[in-house]
Amino acid sequence: MRIGIIGAGKVGTTMGKYIVDHGGTVSGFYTRTASNGLESAQFTHTKYFTTLDSLIEGSDTLFIATTDRAIRDVWDYITTKNVKGKVICHFSGSLSSDVFSNWEETGAWVCSLHPIYTFSNKFTAYQNLTEAKFTIEGDSKALEQLQELFCLLPNEIIHISTKEKVKYHAATSIASNHVTGLIYLAVELLREAGIKEQQAYHLLKPLVEKNVQAVFSQVPEGAKESSSISSEGKVYAGCAQTLTGPIERNDIATVNKHLQKLDRPEWEAVYRAVGLQVSKVAQRKHPERSYQEIKHVLAQNMRPGR
276-287 confidence digits (pLDDT tens): 999 999 999 999
CA distance 137 to 89: 10
Long-range contacts of 91-94, Cβ-Cβ distance < 8 Å, separation of 24 or more:
91/11, 91/15, 91/63, 91/64, 91/65, 91/115, 92/68, 93/168, 93/169, 93/172, 93/173, 94/68, 94/165, 94/166, 94/169
Which one is predicted more confidently, 234 or 157?
A: 157
Task: Assess whether pLDDT exceeds 70 at residue 53.
Answer: yes
256-268 confidence digits (pLDDT tens): 999 999 989 999 9
Average pLDDT, stretch 212-220? 90
This prediction has a pTM of 0.84
113-154 confidence digits (pLDDT tens): 999 998 989 999 999 999 999 999 999 999 999 999 999 999
CA distance 53 to 291: 62
Task: Assess whether pLDDT exceeds 80 at residue 233.
Answer: no
Task: Assess whether pLDDT exceeds 90 at residue 229.
Answer: no
22-40 confidence digits (pLDDT tens): 999 999 999 999 999 999 9
pLDDT for position 215: 95
CA of residue 293 relative to chain centroid, distance = 35
Long-range contacts of 182-186, Cβ-Cβ distance < 8 Å, separation of 24 or more:
182/270, 182/274, 183/208, 185/267, 185/270
Q: Spell out a b/e string for 49-82, using b for 16 or more CB atoms within 10 Å of the CB, else e.
A: beebeebbeebbbbbbbbeeeebbebbeebbeee
Bridge pairing between strands 235-236 and 2-6: unpaired
Task: Assess whether pLDDT exceeds 50 at residue 302.
Answer: no
**What one-character-per-residue DSSP string does the chain give?**
-EEEEE--SHHHHHHHHHHHHTT-EEEEEE-SSHHHHHHHHHHHT-EE-SSHHHHHHT-SEEEE-S-HHHHHHHHHHHTTS--TT-EEEE--SS--GGGSTTGGGGT-EEEEEEEES----TTTGGGGGGG-EEEEEE-HHHHHHHHHHHTTS---EEE--STTHHHHHHHHHIIIIIHHHHHHHHHHHHHHTT--HHHHHHHHHHHHHHHHHHHT-B--TTS-TTPEEPTTS-EE-HHHHH--STTTTT-HHHHHHHHHH--SHHHHHHHHHHHHHHHHHHHHH-TTS--HHHHHHHHSPPPTT-
